[in-house]
Amino acid sequence: MTGPFLVALDVDGTLISYDGELSTDVRGAVGDLVAAGHHVVIATGRSVHSTVPIYRALDLTAGWLVCSNGAVTATIDPRSEAGWRAHEVVTFDPTFAVRLLVEEFPGVRFAVEELGAGYRLNAPFPDGELSGQIEVVDLDELCSRPVTRLVVRAPDHTDEEFDRVVGRLGLHDVTYSVGYNRWLDIAPAGISKASALEAVRRELDVAPERTVAVGDGGNDLEMLGWAARGVAMGHAAREVRAAADEVTGTIDDDGLVPVLRSLVGRP
């Protein structure tokens, strides 16, 4: 099978360190892949306004973004004022999930995306966790219109409690993923990085056998299963590594680099 690869890359813990550092070797490996004619698609839980700067840091001027865990698909467009254009935006009504979770997690904090701008939230989040314009509102205002993503933050509760409660509540009309810092992302039902990437693959007319994905988080599980070659970072949790076809080095080792180099025939 020949033709370009579609390479889907998670951001935090895959492309960049958890401190926000992008290594020279990673930037070079991504550049070599694009120069060879392959498609690099950033696939992240981040909002689009915090993803575009990553693309710029990679010195790329065109390409696709899968943001908000698949709810927002966009293309880089230097001609637009924002630097990107929305291709598809999927929303849902957060009211039901918010009302149930408020009862289960006293003091829970919610944030909903304002596409391309920032977030509306019911209480401040820890410093540095959200970017862009921040507006604190009451729960009625928070739920007043459909959203692309609902972020749930309950610092006093564990990931296991999140899993147990969400499973018991039966939130069948949404897709959810639990992060590693008591952070829960809720997206429209059936939406994930994988569902958005499949739509991008069809747009680009890339053969399914030429798909590669690299990630490290629970929100990467579907993406790793979707790709013909799913690669987990070495520091990923056990269930993420188990879902992958292979495991590379950790973020501290620039584990992404050998994966990308293998696609252009470099050691």
- Judge whether 137 lies within some domain: yes
Residue 177 pLDDT: 56
pLDDT at 202 over 80: yes
Answer yes or no: do 198 and 244 share one domain: yes
Q: What is the pLDDT of residue 175?
A: 57
Do 71 and 60 touch, CB atoms closer than 8 A?
no
| Number of domains forming the structure of the chain | 2
Kindly state whether residue 267 falls inside one of the protein's structural domains: no
Q: Is 16 part of any domain?
A: yes
Q: What is the CATH number of the domain that holds 21?
A: 3.40.50.1000
| CATH code for the domain in which residue 154 is found | 3.30.1240.10
Most confident range, picked from 17-21, 39-43, 50-54: 39-43
Answer yes or no: is pLDDT of 165 > 80: no
Under a CB-based contact definition with an 8 Å cutoff, are residues 212 and 8 in contact?
yes
**At which of 122, 155, 188 does a domain end?**
188
**Which pLDDT score, from 0 to 100, does residue 166 have?**
67
Structural domain for 137, as ranges: 95-188
- One domain, residues 11 and 127: no
Q: Is the CA virtual torsion 12, 42, 154, 175 positive or negative?
A: negative
Distance CA 189, CA 94 (A): 11
Query: Residue 161: its pLDDT value, please?
Result: 76
Do 208 and 141 lie in one domain? The reply is no
Of the two residues 239 and 266, the one the predictor is more confident about is 239
> In whole angstroms, how far apart are CA 3 and each of 177, 192, 208, 245, 267?
33, 26, 11, 21, 21
User: What average pLDDT score do residues 119-138 get?
Assistant: 91
Distance CA 200, CA 145 (A): 27
User: Is pLDDT of 10 > 70?
Assistant: yes
> Is 142 in contact with 120 (CB distance < 8 Å)?
yes
Q: Note whether 52 and 173 are same-domain residues.
A: no
Angstrom CA distances, 213 to 9, 199, 207, stand at 6, 15, 14
In the predicted structure, residue 152 carries a pLDDT above the cut 70: yes
Shared domain for 149 and 232, answered yes or no, is no
Q: Are residues 177 and 198 in the same domain?
A: no
| Structure confidence at residue 171 as a pLDDT band (50, 70, 90) | low
Last residue of a domain, one of 152, 172, 188: 188
| pLDDT one-digit tens code per residue, 62-89 | 999 999 999 999 999 888 888 899 999 9
Domain boundary among 188, 205, 238: 188
Q: What is the pLDDT of residue 78?
A: 83
d(CA 132, CA 160): 30
